[in-house]
Structure 1
Amino acid sequence: MSNSASDRSPIPGTVWQARGRHAGTSSEDVLRRTLRRHKDGRILDDFAEPPVPQDTAGRVFEARWRVDGAVPVRARLTLPPPRDRADGRAWLLVAEAERPWEDNWPSPATMFWPDEDDVPWDHHHAVAGLRLRDINPLPEDDKAMRRVFRDAARGSWSVHLVVHEAMTPDERGRLPLARLLPPGLRHRVLEHRAAPHQLRAVNWALRDQGVEVPRGGAVLLPPQPAPDGYDATEYAVRSVFLDGSEPAELLDALRRFTALPKPAPEGAAEALADLRDNWTLLTLEEELARERGLVAMYAEALEAMTRSRDLYREAAEKAHEALAAYRDAPAPPAERPAPPAASAASPMRQFTRTFARLTGGAKGSRTRGGDDSDGVKGPS
């Protein structure tokens, strides 16, 4: 089976997903404290930490809550085994609602992680130095800038936004645009910021992406691979005012961009299947529904086994009947052996025939000769 991005299924509209890295220590304790605080505050309906195999250092956390007062959301955050303590702890989060996701719903990330600047849970999962909730200034070196775009966008779980400053912004303009986004987009967008003098360099670095950032504007990096009919110009914003006001044009582009049918990043399909198949935080109604489903499945399997057994028994009975009929039938009359086929005349047989003919001729000559001698009288 191919693992290329073009072969992966698109992300369902009911799913919210993110991936990052907690650069601090004691990631499990931070998660447990946050989940407990949200449950005590009735933000969450419940949470759980399902057991994992004893031979793994990974952890799993589940939480469920409701949005709009009635729409259930189930979410599962996984901490893979740590690779390097100095590098922090990677995490992967998938949430699924019972209807298509809306941007004004709370961010699932803040159900698990505290939404505080001093807790560094929002680092990029692959590229060091990039953060979801902060401005990420582009490097001065052109090649390093190009490498940032290439590494960040490869198989990324985030939406990458490149913003060019037309002029040096004031204090309000130096705040990240993420804080102005609706909660459902806030922790899915990673903002790259280009200084006023970097316009030519940033557009050179973006050539491989097939996009350009307008002066004083912004552009969204295309997904890899881009969907059919994708037009990069539709996701370029000509003006982004860095004055603390709501970027309405940028929000519109972001909403249209996130609504595109994009292939799930690597590992997302497995995480979603894990959420659906191994979910443990069930309500009483869900437990009853699951038990009914298991009973129905076992009944169907038993019925299939019974049908197979009956078919096997019927086939065996027919085979026994055929065998008995074969044994009771009279034996067919023996066939008379066919005479041997005449073989071609051999040299010995020809010699025998010739010898018999010669022998027969010699006997006839002697018989005729005797008769003549008896009939001749001698001189008197």
Structure 2
Amino acid sequence: MRSENIALENLNDIVNFCHKHNLKAYLTTNILVYDNELKLMRKIIEESKRAGIDALIVHDLATIETAKEFSIPFHISTQCNVSNSLSARFYEKLGAERIILARELSLERIKEIKRNLTKTEIEVFIHGAMCTSISGRCYFSQDICGSEEKSANRGNCEQPCRRRWWVREESGNEYIYDGVRFMNSRDLCTIAHIPKLIEANIDAFKIEGRMRHPHYVDIVTKTYREAIEAYYNQTFTKKKVGWWVTELKKVYNRGFTPGFYFKRMTEEDHQHISPTNLSHFRYIRVGQVDKYDSNTKYATISLDNGYLTKDDDLIIMGNNTDTYIHQEAKEIRYNGKFVNKTPRGTKDEEVKIELKIDDTAIGEGSDKVYVFTDKTYDKKVYSL
């Protein structure tokens, strides 16, 4: 389950939604732009201006020039790999409101760049996927796929670095890491170092989450928000760090590394065994929403792939709706009575239940109900 790119006609509604909830809306326009795409790029920026976007995240100088023409604030993308003070000051003179620094910088180098800027803000990545071949500038995917559209520089990397590789040089020698994922970096995780990052006078923290599942965004942002607030409340402890890391490990991850903040990355910072998710938790679809009563706040749900138990960690969302609800199963009714566990539903024999929903943002007929769990239940019914 992944997010999708937004449609241009929905941009105005999305910006309004963000502003209604006191959030800033930034539009990422950081791919390389070719001549035949300049009109489309201009149209996107025009629509962004009309929608009231707060800033564009940019890479190509043509995009920067057009953003300035429409007087839209712009942030320099990590695609520009700003790694020193001179480069940072160049973009400051161009009018950049913020610079998203390269992931490959140490904390000391970040501090040095910050000291040499007068008004431009800096932003750094604190969590998410890492690239081995210089963030966002890698041509490995394009070369392997034989298409310039399958490129990190075009926002469409096929991630061949996550695969197993057998390396043999022309004389026939093979390397000891043959058959392992020697380019597969672990995910960046800095939850334990939030105090040091805040004290470095960094203006904004960035979580890599483009195209991520809403539940991933929910858990990761909430966890880091708790860590940041704990710092300012003077309640940040090692015990809490352990709990936060446990929460982060529940959602998609390739194992964790602090990245380049305190040392150069080594073999220990790569995940050689698994190409993708190390989390033991999975999303188990157990049914779908039939209808919702806004007066009683109960949803009627058809279970066709398992059962619900009181206190199950639930996610309700739809493929083509805006619904995203994350809550525990607190009040479950079956045949008009409260139950701690429902009968098992199957495709041949669905079970109708009623579930108390905490949020009114729910659709009917297309919203699916998932249990988020590390339990296997009955393998004949649940596909993990």
Same fold (TM over 0.5): no
Structure (1/2) with the larger strand percentage: 2
Q: Which has the larger Rg?
A: 1
Structure number with the bigger relative contact order (C-alpha 8 A, sep ≥ 6) is 1
Structure (1/2) with the larger helix percentage: 1
Using structure 2 for the length normalisation, give the TM-score. Answer: 0.21
